[in-house]
Each structure stands twice: as C-alpha cells, then as structure tokens.
C-alpha cells in the first residue's frame, strides 16, 4: 500500500492545482497563494524580456501595467556571463551586426557610428562601408552593448518593473488570461509561492542549460572530473592558468563561433607568454571548401570550418528568406532550416593568420573524426579514441578537453516549457522546439481574450529563423507589440510617435 501523500502547506501548490490544466480564482485562493494582478507579464528577465518591455514602453505602456519576473539582477547578466566564459570579455567584439541594437529599436545610429564618434576613429566608417569585401564585418564590443543596455534600462525604468523570483509554471485561467506561479526569494514573501494573474504573458527564458557531447558527459559522470573536461560556456579559466605554468595539450571539440574564440585565446596566450601549448582540434564534420545544395545557397569553408558572417544568411532578417519562411509549414519548413542551418563561424583575418602559423609551426592539429570515448591515462591525462571516416582510430592525449558545441536545446529540459507542453496546450514545431504563430503567440495556448507569447531560442523552427539574435529578438518584440495593439492593449506606434521617441532616445530622456 502506497504511503499517503503529504498535504501541501498553505501558500503552496496543491495536488488539485498541479493536475488541473485550467485554474479558477477560487482554486488559487483555496490554496492560500497570494494573487497579484498585472495586465502584461514577461518571464525570464534576459535580453528577450528587456527588448519586449522596451518596445512596449516606447509604444506607450506605463510601468504599472507590466512586470518582469527574473532570478537575475539586470537583463544582460546571463549573456555577459556566457560571453565572458566563451572568451569574449567586455573589450572584445561579439558576433552581431552594427545596426542590431537591443537598446535602440530604430537601429540608428548604429554601434559602428557610435564607436567611430566616441573614439574619433574614421577607420570604423571605412570598415562599415567596405564590409565584407575588403574588410571583416564590423561588430560591436561586448562592453559597448552592455553599457548601452544599462543606459536604456534606466531610461525605461526597467527596475520599477522587476520582480525577483523563479517561475514554476504558467497555467490557463478560467474566464481568460493566465496564472503565473512564482517562487520568490526566501523571506521575500509570507508564502512559498505567489501568483500573478495576467491577460498577457511573454516567455523569454533562453536555453535550459549547458549541453555536453555524450562521451564527455559520460566521462564527467563516471570519473567525477569537472576540471579537465569543461564546457566553453562554464568558467574554465583554470585551463589557461595551467598552460602558463608548463607545456600542455588541449583538445577542442566543435566548429562554431565559440570554438573559434577559445582557439584564439589559446593562440593569444601562446604569443603573449611564449607558451608551448599544443592544440588538437577535432571536427565531427570537416569542411574542405565551399558547400551547399545549389549555386544560390552556398557557404564558404575550408580547413574544417564553415564560414558565415552571422548565424544565418542576412536575408532571414528582412529579405527573401524571411518572406519565404513565413509561408512554409511542416516538413517543408524543417527542410529549409536544415538547408540553411549548420555550425558556422565568421572568417576573421587575425584568427586565420594564427591558424596558418599554428599549422606551419606544428602546434595546431585539425583532425576529422567521431570520438567513441574518453578515458583517463595512468598519469592523470585524457585520451580520446577518435574514429575517422576511413576507419582509422587515433588516440590523442591531452591535459584538458574543451567542449565548444553549444547550449542545451531541448525545451522540455526547462520545467516551464515542460509544464506548458503537458498542460498548456503547447506543442513542438517541425524542428522540435516551441511552435509559435507569425506574431509569436504560442500555438494552442489561447485563453479567452488573453495570449501567451514566446521569443528567443525556444522558438527556433518557427516562421522566422533568426530568433536567437539581437535583431531577431527585436523583430519578435515588434510583432508582439503590434499584436497587442491589435488587441487594444496599447496604441500602435505611428511615424510621429516613432520620431518623437527616437529624439527622446537620442537625448536619453525618460519614456
């Protein structure tokens, strides 16, 4: 006989609430959970939430009509942590277009114009005019992005809307709208949970977590070694500090922008400190030249890498690909994603020179293969068993392995999305993430006159491909704001208000 279930304490989720897809006000009140009303609530508190609030504030929504629930203190906090771990500190440049400004919905003046003006450096203007033919794409410094986000957050009074806490779930409300269940910080509320009752909810909660290659995850779990097998998105400065003390070998896994940044850090340290570091770079797919399905859809490549200036072809943000994707459904859409997807990185001149020097000097070794397993050696190092396409097994030995393959993409790994898929009516799109409308409302989740929206990485595979980028988050925010205007929540912004608001942005005047 099963043990009786422990009753929920007052102010917490009850078995009835947990098992019911649609709640009534009486059910929440009976559980003793305090309810707070706010018309619009965004969940996440990262750049996706910030950009959406920025649009709505500029459209004219007052701060008292909106809240953002987050466990971080400022919108760029997680992004800055990830960029710093992946070897892009504030002085370095990120992979983003000059006019993709999450702090400026108009994109003008661009980051390039701003840096050229502030630093009195006309070379930036020449680079902008000649990219990418004579020069690399111009991209902003991480520090420039963060400083401008802070300026805009103060201007729109972001912190007046911030509620600290962890969102547990979002459930439909009988009669329309949604309940968002929040676990506030310990001691911040008299009960374990609080609930926000909203007509509109927006989800921008990013990636569920780190993703490791299966063989590396198995090694970390089996040997409890979290120091020598690391993910590029977690703190791993111990790798570079060790290499300053003695000659060592590092294995890099992955062929995207993060791998290129980690590789550049290793090259930079080698040059700066006169190190003897050996680098073994394992590519699962080794690109030898230009590739693609046809002449109009080809990507440059070589030496293992696929080269592309940005995550996707630029036309996905405002050209023929954007228009084409909005018309595709099901298998056709999935096939188009597969055609234009794939790991890639920008081809930057300085980094290319370092790789050529590494190959010529015998300290950078790029190999193709699939790693069967990783094992420790008797002297505490790591041996990878790498099977190449011709069947040959190589056994490179290294002091460290850095996994640069990315972040966790399965939306069900995040409890909010998992609950939404099970109880909220949401379902997966053709590539396995959250299916949304063209205006970013989550399909299947409508509740009376309310709407549930989502943007960011969780919606990749929808009608708009470039979702997990600065400009993509802004396009999603504009679609959401325009949809809210159509529902009467806010007035649609016309040219006169847009112009007046731009001047307010220029002079840093409060919204």
Would you state the pLDDT for residue 211? Answer: 87
Question: What angle (nearest 5°) sits at the alpha carbon of residue 338, between those of residues 336 and 342?
Answer: 130
CATH of 15-76+152-208+410-496, one of 3.30.70.141, 3.50.50.60, 3.10.450.50, 3.40.50.300: 3.50.50.60
- In the sheet with 178-183, reading across from the earlier edge strand, the strands are 22-23, 166-173, 178-183, 194-198, 35-37
What's the CA gap between 212 and 233, in Å, rounded? 10
Per the rule left: phi > 0, alpha: psi between -120 and 50, beta: everything else, 60 is left
Query: Residue 388 in contact with residue 286, Cβ under 8 Å?
Result: no
pLDDT digits (tens, 9 = 90+) for 5-25: 445 577 999 999 999 999 999
pLDDT digits (tens, 9 = 90+) for 458-503: 999 999 998 989 999 999 999 999 999 999 999 999 999 999 999 9
Would you state the pLDDT for residue 53? Answer: 98
pLDDT digits (tens, 9 = 90+) for 108-126: 999 999 999 999 999 999 9
Question: By percentage, how much of the chain surpasses pLDDT 70?
Answer: 98
* Torsional sign, CA 60, 64, 66, 69: positive
The token duo for 169 is 């779930």
Would you state the pLDDT for residue 165? Answer: 98
Query: Residue 218 in contact with residue 385, Cβ under 8 Å?
Result: no
The token duo for 353 is 């020179």
Would you state the pLDDT for residue 299? Answer: 86
pLDDT band of residue 343 (cuts 50, 70, 90) is: confident
SS3 for 377?
coil
Cis peptide before 109 (omega within 30 of 0): yes
pLDDT digits (tens, 9 = 90+) for 364-417: 999 999 999 999 999 999 999 999 988 889 999 999 999 999 887 789 999 999
Mean pLDDT, rounded, of the chain: 94
The Cα-based distances of 322 to 333, 337, 361, 443, 464 in angstroms read: 12, 12, 44, 20, 6
Q: H-helix or E-strand containing 337?
A: helix 330-340
Q: Which among 436, 447, 264 is positioned nearest to 358, based on CA atoms?
A: 264
Would you state the pLDDT for residue 1? Answer: 45
Q: Which residue has the higher pLDDT, 336 or 76?
A: 76
CATH of 210-288+344-408, one of 3.50.50.60, 3.40.50.300, 3.40.1450.10, 3.20.10.10: 3.50.50.60
424-429 average pLDDT score = 97
Each domain of the chain, given as residue ranges in start order, spans: 15-76+152-208+410-496, 210-288+344-408
Would you state the pLDDT for residue 348? Answer: 87
pLDDT digits (tens, 9 = 90+) for 224-282: 999 999 999 999 999 999 999 999 999 999 999 999 999 999 999 999 999 999 999 99
Q: Which residue has the higher pLDDT, 497 or 292?
A: 497
Q: Which residue has the higher pLDDT, 53 or 138?
A: 53
pLDDT digits (tens, 9 = 90+) for 53-87: 999 999 999 999 999 999 999 999 999 999 999 99
């Amino acid at each position: 006989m099963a043990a009786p279930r422990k009753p929920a304490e007052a102010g917490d989720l009850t078995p009835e609430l947990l098992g019911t897809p649609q709640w009534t006000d009486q059910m929440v009140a009976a559980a003793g959970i305090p309810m707070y009303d706010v018309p619009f609530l965004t969940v996440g508190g990262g750049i996706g939430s910030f950009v959406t609030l920025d649009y709505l504030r500029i459209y004219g929504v007052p701060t008292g009509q909106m809240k953002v629930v987050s466990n971080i203190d400022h919108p760029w906090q997680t992004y800055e942590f990830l960029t710093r771990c992946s070897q892009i500190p504030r002085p370095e440049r990120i992979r983003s277009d000059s006019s993709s400004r999450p702090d400026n919905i108009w994109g003008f003046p661009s980051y390039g114009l701003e840096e050229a003006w502030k630093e009195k450096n006309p070379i930036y203007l020449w680079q902008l005019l000649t990219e990418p033919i004579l020069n690399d794409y111009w991209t902003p410094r991480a520090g420039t992005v963060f400083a401008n986000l802070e300026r805009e957050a103060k201007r729109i009074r972001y912190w007046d809307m911030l509620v600290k806490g962890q969102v547990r779930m979002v459930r439909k409300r009988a009669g329309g709208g949604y309940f968002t269940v929040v676990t506030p910080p310990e001691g911040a509320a008299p009960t374990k949970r609080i609930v926000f009752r909203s007509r509109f909810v927006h989800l921008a909660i990013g990636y569920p977590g780190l993703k490791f290659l299966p063989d590396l995850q198995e090694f970390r779990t089996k040997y409890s070694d979290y120091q020598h097998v690391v993910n590029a998105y977690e703190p791993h400065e111990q790798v570079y500090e060790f290499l300053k003390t003695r000659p060592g070998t590092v294995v890099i896994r992955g062929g995207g922008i993060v791998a290129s940044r980690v590789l550049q850090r290793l090259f930079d340290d080698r040059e700066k400190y006169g190190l003897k570091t050996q680098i073994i770079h394992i590519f699962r797919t080794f690109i030898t030249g230009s590739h693609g399905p046809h002449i109009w859809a080809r990507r440059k490549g070589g030496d293992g890498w696929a080269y592309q200036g940005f995550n996707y072809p630029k036309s996905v943000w405002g050209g023929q690909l954007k228009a084409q994707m909005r018309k595709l459904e099901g298998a056709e859409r999935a096939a188009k994603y597969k055609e234009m997807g794939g790991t890639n990185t920008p081809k930057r001149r300085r980094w290319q020179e370092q790789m050529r020097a590494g190959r010529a000097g015998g300290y950078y070794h790029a190999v193709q293969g699939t790693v069967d397993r990783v094992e420790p050696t008797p002297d505490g190092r790591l041996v990878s068993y790498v099977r190449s396409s011709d069947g040959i097994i190589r056994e490179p030995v290294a002091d460290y392995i850095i996994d640069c393959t990315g972040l966790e993409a399965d939306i069900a790994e995040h409890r909010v999305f998992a609950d939404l898929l099970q109880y909220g009516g949401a379902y997966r799109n053709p590539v396995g993430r959250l299916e949304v409308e063209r205006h970013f409302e989550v399909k299947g989740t409508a509740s009376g006159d309310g709407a549930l929206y989502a943007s960011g990485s969780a919606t990749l595979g929808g009608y708009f491909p470039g979702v997990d980028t600065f400009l993509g988050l802004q396009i999603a925010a504009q679609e959401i704001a325009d949809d809210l205007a159509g529902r009467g929540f806010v007035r649609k912004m016309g040219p006169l208000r847009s112009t007046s608001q731009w001047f307010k942005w220029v002079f840093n005047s409060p919204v």
